[in-house]
Amino acid sequence: MITCPACRHQEYEGELFCSECGARLWDSGIELPPTVTFNSRQLTDLPKTANPAAAITNLNTGQIALMVVGVPQPMVLEGRVEYYLGREVEAGQPPDVNLTPYGAREKGVSRRHASLRVDRRQLLLMDLGSSNGTQLNGSPLVANEPVRLESGDEIRLGKLSIRVYFNL
Amino acid sequence: MTTGDLYDLLGLAHRATPDEIKAAYRNAARRFHPDVNPHPSATEEFKLIANAYVILSDPAQRTAYDTALQKAGSGPLVSIHWIPSRKTLPVQLEPQVFYTLVNITASLGGETELPAPPVNLCVVIDRSTSMQGARLDQVKTAVSQVIDSLRDNDSFSVVAYSDKAEVIVPAQQGLAERTLAKAKISTINAGGGTEILQGLMRGLVELQKRLSPSAVNHLILLTDGQTYGDEDDCILLATLAATDGIIITGLGIGDEWNDRFLDELTACTGGTAAYVNSPEQVKTFLWNKVRGLGSTYAERLTLYITPDVEVKLISAFKMGQEVGQVPVDGTSLRLGSLPKQQGVSVLLKFLLPPLSAEGERSIARLALYADVVSLGRRGERTTVDIILPGLADAPRLPPPTAIVEALSKLSQYNMQERAWQEATAGDIASATKRLSTLGTRLLSSGQTDLAKAALAEARRLEKTQSLSEEAKKNLKYGTRALLLASQPKDIQK
C-alpha cells in the first residue's frame, strides 16, 4: 500500500492519484532541476548585503526569499516547483528547507511541517498535517488545504515566524 | 468474423458493371423483399442489400467505397492501441492497481473518403408543462433545422411525450414531406407531466420500423424533468434497444432532471448524457450530434474484456468526443460509435493479484467488435492482449502523460461525485471539505471557473446544509467536460 502525502489515505500500489483528496501520488522529479538543499553553512556563504530588505525587493523572477524573523540573512529558493519546510530527522534526510538551524525543534516545527508550491506565478502554502499547525498572518490554516500567499506575508510554523517574499 | 463487403451482399465480383449491379439488386430484391418473403431475417437481409445498392449504383459513392476497400486491404478496419500506466510491473506480495488507456481508431481515418452511412434517427421531445416557453421553442427550432440537414437515404421520426406519448413525425425515409414534418413539429404544445418510459417506448417503435444493421440507429432523448417510478423499466427497455444496435443520447435541459438516471440509461446503450443550462444551447448540441452521426465510421463498438485469472476489472471510463462512466458489471463494454476523424478512448483500471515471480504477466484480452457502417462490414473483430513484464526491481518511472492527464481530470470528476454522495447521505461536513479540496485541485490545474464554483458550493453547502442542483450539474458536467478530447492541434496554433 502507499500513503497519500497530503491526507494519509491508503491506496494500492500503482495508484496515481489519491481517491480521497486528488493529490498526486507519484514522484515527477523529471522535468525539474535537481534538488537544492539549503543549510545554514551555505547561507552564511551568501554575499552579505548591508540591507537585506533591499535584496528582498530586488528578487529575480522565479525567486522566493524566506526571512526567519530575527535572522538578517534571507534564504533564497529557486528552481523547483515545490519545497518542503521542516526540520532534519536524526540521521535522516533533511527536508528541502531545513529549519533546524533556526531552533525549529524548540519552536515546535514538525519534520514535515508545510510546503510551498509555485503554481502559475502564484505561491501556495500548505500545512502538511503538522503537530503544532501553521498560521498565515495570524490565522491558522486547515491541514492539507493550500492557500495563496502574497509577497511579504508572515507565516508561522509552530512558533517559528518567517516572512515570505517572492517574485514569480 | 467478417460478413464480407457490399459486393458479397449482391453476389457480385468487384469489377461488376453498373448493369450487372442493377440486375443483381433486382434479383436479390425478388428473393428477399419483405412483401415477397415473409421470413423474419429476409427483411433484415433486404435492408442490407438496399443500402449496398444505394452506394454501388452511385458512381461517386462506388469509387469512394472501392478506394477505401483497397486501402483497407486485409488488415483490421478498426485499430486498438493501449498505453500502460507503467512499462514494467514490480514483483511484490501485495495487490497493485494498473491503468491502461485504450485508444480505438479508424484504420481508414484521415484523408480516405468514405461513403456516408445511412442514419436512422428518432428525436424524442419532452413536452411537459415545464418545457413551456423558450425551452420548447428552442427545441422545436432545433429539430426543424435537423430535418433540413437530413440526406435522402436517412430515416427520421419525432415523438413528443408528457404523461403520454404521441408520434409527431412517423418514421420516414427520403423526407419528401419535410415541410409537412416541420409544420407538425411547430404544433407541439407543452402540457402534462414527465413520463420518459412513454416517450422512449414510442420512439423505439419508430426506430424499429427502419432499423438496419448497416445504418446508424440513434435515439436522442430530450428532457427537463424527473420521471417517477418508471426508471427501471426505462433501463430495461434501453438494454433491449442496445441489443438491437440502437444507441441513446440524452440531453438534460435546466437543473431539474435526474442526471444519474440519464447517465445510466444512455450508458447501457453505449451513448452518453449531456447537460445544457440554457435553451439556446439545444440547437448547437443537436446540430453537432446529428452531424456527428452522419460521419460515423463504425457503430456499436463493443469491447469484450476477459481478465486473466485473479485479475479484476475495476472500472472503465470513456473519453473522446463523448465522455462517461461505462458500466463494467456485464461481460462487455458498449462504447457507442466511432467517428471517422476522431478516436474513442477508454481508461481501464485493473486490480492485479500479488506478483510472485519475474517474467511476462498477462493481464487481460481485449476483443473489440464493431460494425463498420461506412464500408458495410459487420462484426469486424480486433483483438489485443495486455501483457507486461514483471521485474523484481521495476524502475519507478513517471507514468505517461496521456494517462496522467486523463487520471488527474478523472480524479477531479470522481471527487465531486463522492461529494454529492456524501451530501445526499447527510454527511455535509465531509462533502464541504471534499468540495473545497476539489476547488484547490481545480485551481492548481488552471480551471479557475470550476474552482470558484466548487469553492462557492462548499461555502453554500456549509451555510444552508443542502445541495444546489444547479451547482451540482455545473460541476458534474464541467469536470466531465475536461475529459473531452481536446481540440485538434491545428486549431490551437
Which candidate from A14, A18, A120 shows the least CB-CB separation from B85?
Answer: A14
Nearest chain A residue to B404 by CA distance is A16
Q: What is the pLDDT of residues B48-67, one digit of tens each?
A: 788 888 888 888 888 877 87
Which candidate from A17, A19, A145 shows the least CB-CB separation from B436?
Answer: A145
B353 touches chain A (CB under 8 A): no
Question: Which residue pairs, CB below 8 angstroms and at least 24 apart, start in B23-27?
Answer: B25/B49, B25/B53, B25/B57
Nearest CA-CA partner of B332 in B262, B403, B242, B413? B242
Question: Which residue pairs, CB below 8 angstroms and at least 24 apart, start in B22-28?
Answer: B22/B57, B25/B49, B25/B53, B25/B57
The whole-model pTM stands at 0.69
pLDDT, chain B, mean: 85
pLDDT of residue B112: 67
Q: What is the pLDDT of residues B107-159, one digit of tens each?
A: 876 666 777 788 999 999 999 988 888 889 999 999 998 888 888 888 889 99
Inform me whether the pLDDT recorded for B69 exceeds 90: no
Do B37 and B22 lie in one domain? The reply is yes
Q: Say which CATH number the domain at B50 has.
A: 1.10.287.110
pLDDT of residue B101: 94
Do B96 and B126 lie in one domain? The reply is no
Residue B448 lies in a domain: yes
Q: How far apart are the C-alpha atoms of A142 and A164, rounded to whole Å?
A: 19
Helix/strand/coil percent split, chain B, to 5: 40, 30, 30
Residue B64 lies in a domain: no
DSSP state of B118: P
Q: How far apart are the C-alpha atoms of B388 and B366, rounded to whole Å?
A: 14
Chain A partners within 8 Å of B437 (Cβ) = 21-22, 144-145
The secondary element (H helix, E strand) that includes residue A122 is strand A122-127
In this prediction, residue A47 has a pLDDT band, given cuts at 50, 70 and 90, of very low
In this prediction, residue B490 has a pLDDT band, given cuts at 50, 70 and 90, of very low
| Residues B351, A26: C-beta atoms closer than 8 Å | no
| Residues A16, B85: C-beta atoms closer than 8 Å | yes
Q: How far apart are the C-alpha atoms of B198 and B230, rounded to whole Å?
A: 9
Say whether B435 sits in a helix, a strand or coil. Answer: helix
Inform me whether the pLDDT recorded for B386 exceeds 70: yes
Give the domain extent around B439: 401-481
Nearest CA-CA partner of B128 in B273, B289, B253? B253
Do B126 and B106 lie in one domain? The reply is no
| Residues B90, A18: C-beta atoms closer than 8 Å | no
Fold of A32-167: Tumour Suppressor Smad4 (2.60.200)
Taking residues B187-207, report their average pLDDT: 91
Do B369 and B430 lie in one domain? The reply is no
Residue B65 lies in a domain: no
Taking residues B68-92, report their average pLDDT: 83
Inform me whether the pLDDT recorded for A34 exceeds 60: no
pLDDT of residue B493: 27
Residue B70 lies in a domain: no
Do B50 and B181 lie in one domain? The reply is no
A1, A11 in Cβ contact below 8 A?
yes
Do B143 and B93 lie in one domain? The reply is no
B391, B422, B445 — which closes off a domain?
A: B391
Domains in chain B: how many in total?
A: 4
Residue B492 lies in a domain: no
Do B222 and B194 lie in one domain? The reply is yes
Do B86 and B138 lie in one domain? The reply is no
B400 touches chain A (CB under 8 A): no
Do B133 and B248 lie in one domain? The reply is yes
Distances (CA, A) of B25 to A9, A152, B29, B62, B116: 66, 83, 6, 15, 20
> Pairing between strand A122-127 and A114-119?
antiparallel
Taking residues B376-397, report their average pLDDT: 84
Q: What angle do CA B215, B216, B217 make, to 5 degrees?
A: 105
Do B271 and B360 lie in one domain? The reply is no
- Per CB distance under 8 Å, which residues of A are interface residues toward B? 1, 11-19, 21-24, 26-30, 117, 119-120, 124, 144-146
> Pairing between strand B377-391 and B89-90?
parallel
Spell out the residues 6+ positions from residue B36 whose beta carbon is closer than 8 angstroms to its own: B30
In this prediction, residue B489 has a pLDDT band, given cuts at 50, 70 and 90, of very low
Q: What is the pLDDT of residues B422-440, one digit of tens each?
A: 988 888 888 998 998 898 8
Alpha-carbon distance A45 to nearest alpha carbon in chain B (angstroms): 35
Nearest CA-CA partner of A38 in A93, A86, A77, A82? A77
Q: Give the ipTM of the model, two decimals please.
A: 0.73
Do B324 and B384 lie in one domain? The reply is yes
pLDDT of residue B358: 87
Cell 446540430 found at: B287
pLDDT of residue A46: 44
| Residues B90, A16: C-beta atoms closer than 8 Å | no
Do B226 and B304 lie in one domain? The reply is no
Chain A partners within 8 Å of B434 (Cβ) = 21
Q: Hey, of B427, B444, B447, which one would you mutate to test binding to chain A, going by the most A CBs within 10 A of its CB?
A: B444
Q: Where are the domains of chain A?
A: 1-30, 32-167
Alpha-carbon distance B444 to nearest alpha carbon in chain A (angstroms): 6
Core vs surface per residue A133-142: b (16+ CB within 10 A) or e: bbbbeeeebe
Nearest CA-CA partner of B336 in B371, B364, B290? B371
Residue B69 lies in a domain: no
B61, B79 in Cβ contact below 8 A?
no
Nearest chain A residue to B354 by CA distance is A13
